[in-house]
Each structure stands twice: as structure tokens, then as C-alpha cells.
Chain A
Amino acid sequence: MSILVDQQTRVLVQGIATADGLAYVQNMVAAASTIVAGAAFGLGGTWCGSIPVFDTVKEAVRATDANAAVVCGRGGEAAEAILEAADAEMALIVCMPTDVPVHDMVLVKARLRNTPVCLIGPGSHGVCSPGKSNVGIIPPYMVRPGSVGIVSRSGSLAYEVTWMLTQAGIGQSTILSIGGGLVVGSGFAEILAMFEEDPATEQVVLIGEIGGQQEEMAARFVADRMSKPVTAFVTGQTAPPGRQMGHAGPVIEELAGTARYKTEVLKQSGVRVARYADELPGLLVERM
């Protein structure tokens, strides 16, 4: 077991003809994921390597039984793609672009409320269950099958930590990034709930950052509902207040958004917090 993706995951790539889409396909093929279809309006009937391309998502699903969609391409078009995938009853939608307008995401979230669709992102680098499926752009050589679940807001920092663990011989059940923006599909708490239920996951690494409320919500969830150990790292300890850090846009607007505050809240909920990323492998080994 693992969460969100496994051997049964049949991937549909939306925006397969974009530069990003092609790069993702290359990576997923290298990771031996099952990619069954691409969707690109106007290119239906063509092929991307050995992957058939369809004009619409519904058509692709009818022909291939795809059950997970990866949204690639421009942020301004992502909402449309997510809504189309949701309408075609995709169980999982992973949205890669970071530059999705906030109001678009607000509408998408309103549409997905009370549906079984699980949206990861925008600004996710993907979801990977090592040895089973890799939906996104985590380089396959960086991962190793095992029992540590990793959930991160940042994608590149998720790789950094995954790679650190792999080099230390610590394998992972599932690795994913939820995106660093203000409005994202699934939050930390939703993902922690999945790891808690997953028999293959024995402990969880949570990688937070400044701004927003994800870490606070995660802390409450851990305190109330989580039996498995959670170890965290919160980045942005040296970020200046009031400035937008990066494309996804974490901003320390107030005391509550600082790394120090989030670290404190997590600690009070029984989460062990590493002072720096390098400390994580050691802390995990202690709990094995």
C-alpha cells in the first residue's frame, strides 16, 4: 500500500503537447509509471511516442480508463483543465503549474467541495510511491521504496529531503508536495489523514514553510487524530517579513506566519521538529 498512487494508477496527461508536459512524460516514462493517455484539444488522434492523444478528457477516459490526471501548461489555463478532469470523474488530479490565479482556485475548490475528487496542487511537483507509480517530476533515482511518508509544501525541498533519506538508506511509502500557495487543493491535514490510514506508512515527514496556516492545521490534526510519529522541518527561518518569497508566494505577514511560531505550534502538538534539513534522517532512524 501507499497513498494516492500505486500500480493501479493510470495516468492521463493534460496539456501533453506543452514543453512542461513533454518533460513530465519523459520523467514518468523513465519511472515506469503507467501513462495511458494525453489530452490536447486539436491533437486528438495523434500520438506522443506510444501514448495516444485525445481531444477531450472524457474521450480519453472512455478509451483508456485513466484514473489520475496531471495538469501541465500555463497557470491561466489550469482551472479549466481541473474542472474538465473533475467532470470526467478523475479520482486524483495533480496540478503542476504554480501560477494559477487565486480566484480561479477559489472557484475550483467550490466546485470540488463534497466530491470524491482529490486535487493536489497547484504548484505540486507530483506524487510518487517508489516502485509503484511516479506521477510528476520527482527524478526516479532519488527515491527508494520504504515506510516513510513525505509531505511538503515545496516541491524542490521535498526532493532534497527525499534524496537525503534515500542516501541514508531510508525508503519512502509516498512522497508528495501540495504546493506553497495560499489556496491549494488538499492541505497537510488531509494528507496526514491518508498516511495515518495507510498500512505501508510507519512515520511521516512534514516539510512546512513560512506563511499561511497549513502547519497550524497539521499541528491540530496531529494532536487530535494522529497515532503515527510525525517529524517536521519548517523552512524560511531567515526570511524577512512582508516580502513574497518565490513564485508560490509565501509571505510572513505577521508573527503567526514565521517559521519560529510554526515550529512552536508543531512542537506543542507532539511533532518533533528538526532545526535544519540535514537533521531529519537521524531523527527518523531514532523512531524506527
Chain B
Amino acid sequence: MRLHEYQAKRILSQVGISVPRGQVATSVSEVRQIAEWLGTRVVLKAQVLTGGRGRGGGIRLAHDAAEAERIASQMFGMEVNGYIASRLLVDEAVDIEQEIYLAITINGLGNVYHSPAQPAIVTSSRGGFEISDLAQGEPEGVYVREIDPLLGLREYQARELAYEVGLGREQSRQFVSTAMGLWNVSWGNDATLVEANPLVVCPNGELVSLNARMTIDDDALFRHPNLSDLRDESQETAAERLARRHGICYVRLGGNVGCLSNGAGLAMATMDALRLRGIKAASFVDVGVGAQAAKVMVGLRLALNGSVGAALVNILGGVARCDEVAAGILGAYEELDLSIPIVVRLEGMHKQAAYAALAEIPRQHEHARLYMAESLADAVQQVAALVQPNGGR
């Protein structure tokens, strides 16, 4: 779960990391109040859970409260990469002498044959550095130190990095305390990424985290109820919300065949197989390993979300029993009286019983167009015949 910038900054400031003075606003009048309270030039920042805000017009400077109000009225409701800005962070504008990148993340970088799979601290004196560039190795001007999780980040490691990015003694002290703070935030909150980027040196010599990014491990949210409460549901579509609440992974892809599978690998392989026939998947729906009937039912609803021409259910059962999956499909028919063609391919325990149950569906639901497949290749061929006028040939 990614946090908003204003939420991440609040957490950073709690461990003593300097952030610009500022507050989050949900209305134009609030923006004006905050800008008046700050009494300086202000930066208005759209709170959207995506990168590339600057390019998308999501970060703007205002010289006074009146201008802030005017700009805010344009920014509320704006869309950046498909995310709607319903909150603006109003920060005091800060003069910058130097920009630094600083982050704590998990280093999955391969070390010859083995992944260290350890936390790492990453810093760079380069502006505009992106953490994902690390996958290409350690580019010039980027410094990485692995952190032994049993020891935690040590101050000497942070000191070494401060000198490597070329900071003087006074800024190095602040850098070390910022780094230690980031480490504590990361480890204490099960964050897989905490970024102070840019961390800037101001003319008065102070180090300030101008922007902050934080991603919490979804699998660890159960032990951080206070962080779960920070979830901004307005940043999700209704379908995404439904999926999350049922523990289903759902990604909208924009094609015209909804795909439902168990396991990410199989789901992706199904999409890939469709693509070979020139068919684009409408969605990626992964109901996970031990999928029960109720979960399959929701998954099918998600796969049929939007304007799809057909759906493909491809499930290989281990723990997921085929008859459970069939019960979920039947449930979806009872609830929705579906007429969109659905091709089903099941393999695993209790497959015969499952196919026998599915064969009954068209007898009970006159609009049902349900087709059974014997393999993935067979399923894809049947889907092609349904959605392509030439049968995919």
C-alpha cells in the first residue's frame, strides 16, 4: 500500500526528519487558509498515488494566498495518470542549494547467483534519480550499502555515504540522523520503500525532505492497524476496492476478454496465450491458491467488469478444488443471469464433478453461453472463435 506524500511526511517528521511546513487541504478555502498561515510562497502538490506528478501539472508554485486559491481551484479534481486529486498538500516553498536522493528499500539485486534479499540504503547526489534504475546495477553517482537486518543500519554506514555524496561535516551530521530516522521508519512500519527524494540542502544549511514516498508491505498490514487506516479509498476504482476486500488481485488492462485464474504465473501465461491469437485481455484476475466458491464468484464479476466480449476462466487446482470453482461459477449465474460467453478450463482434483455441474447451467439459465475447454490451447481457440469474426485464424 502506497501512502500519500503528506502521510509519509507526517511519519518522517515524527522521527525528527525535517520536512517543509505545510498542511493538506480538501477544499479551495482550506488552501487559502493554509497559504495565509504560512505567509510565504507555497507549493501546491496534488495528492495522487502515482509518479510523474510534476510533468502532469500536479505540482505548482503560488506566490501568495490569492494565487494559491486560484491555482487550487484548477487542481482539485484534476487527473494524473488516471488518479483524481481530491487533496492538495500546501507546503512552504523552500530554496534549494543541493538535491540528494536517499532511500531505504529491499535489495533484490542479484549478486552473481544469489540474491542477498537484504534491506539497503541507497543515496545519490544526482537529482531525478529513480530507484528502479538500480535494477541495471549500481549506476555512477549512486551509492548502496546493504543493511544486516540483525544489526540494523549503523551510523558509520550513513557517514560513509554522506562523504560519498560530497556533504560537509555539518550536513553529514544531519544526513546521518535523517538516514537513521528513515531506517527506523522503514523497519518499524514494514515499509518496503521509504524515500526522501529530493532531500535538499537549504541556503541556511538545513537538510529538508522536500518530498517523501512510502510503500507499506500489504502482507504486514495486519500488524499495523494505524497504517491501514491511512488507506485513501478515493484512489481506487470500485472494482479495485471490491477485489482488495476479497483478497483478489485485479488489474484492468483494457482489452475485451476478461481473464480469471489462480496464481499470478498461470494468469499471466493465460494473457500471453491470448495475445498470441491477437486477443487483448480486459483484466487480470488472480483469485489466489485456495480459492473458495465465494471468491470465484466475485472474481468472475470482476473479470466481466467493463465492456468485455467474453471471459476465460483458467484454473488449475491443487488446494482449489474444481468442484468449488464450479460452485462459484454457478453462483455467479444465479446472481447475475449472465449472457456474456464464458469459456471454462479446469484441471485438478474433482474435475469430472465440476464439469458435470457446469453442464447443468445452460439448462437452468436460458441466457447462459458457457463453454468447456480441455486445455489452455483449446480454451484460447474457443475464445478466439467467440470474439473474432474470423475465428482468430
Contacts and interface: CB of A to CB of B under 8 A. Distances in A.
A116 to B, nearest CB: 16
B360 to A, nearest CB: 24
**Interface size class, chain A:** 35 or more
A76 B217 CA distance: 12
B334 interface: no
Contacts of B135: 213, 253-254, 256-257
Given A101-B217, A155-B265, 5 more contacts: A101-B220, A102-B106, A107-B150, A184-B117, A245-B251
Nearest to A275: B276
A23 B265 contact: no
B273 A277 contact: yes
Nearest to A138: B318
A142 B346 CA distance: 13
Given A101-B217, A103-B149, A217-B115, A250 B264 contact: yes
Nearest to A141: B349
B106 A182 contact: yes
26 contacts: A23-B290, A101-B217, A101-B223, A103-B187, A110-B149, A126-B318, A139-B318, A152-B265, A154-B263, A154-B265, A156-B265, A156-B266, A157-B263, A157-B268, A160-B266, A160-B376, A183-B115, A187-B113, A221-B113, A238-B271, A245-B267, A247-B288, A253-B131, A256-B135, A256-B136, A276-B273
A106 B384 CA distance: 44
Interface residues of B, number: 62
Contacts of A160: 266, 269, 316, 347, 376
A248 B268 CA distance: 12
B117 A105 contact: yes
A239 B269 CA distance: 10
B359 interface: no
Interface string B180-214: 00000001001010000000000000000000000
Nearest to B150: A110
Interface in A104-153: 104-107, 109-110, 125-126, 136-139, 142, 152-153
Contacts of A75: 219
Given A155-B318, A247-B288, A248-B264, A102 B217 contact: yes
A180 B220 contact: no
Contact of A217 (B113, B136, B281, B290): B113
B58 interface: no
A197 interface: no
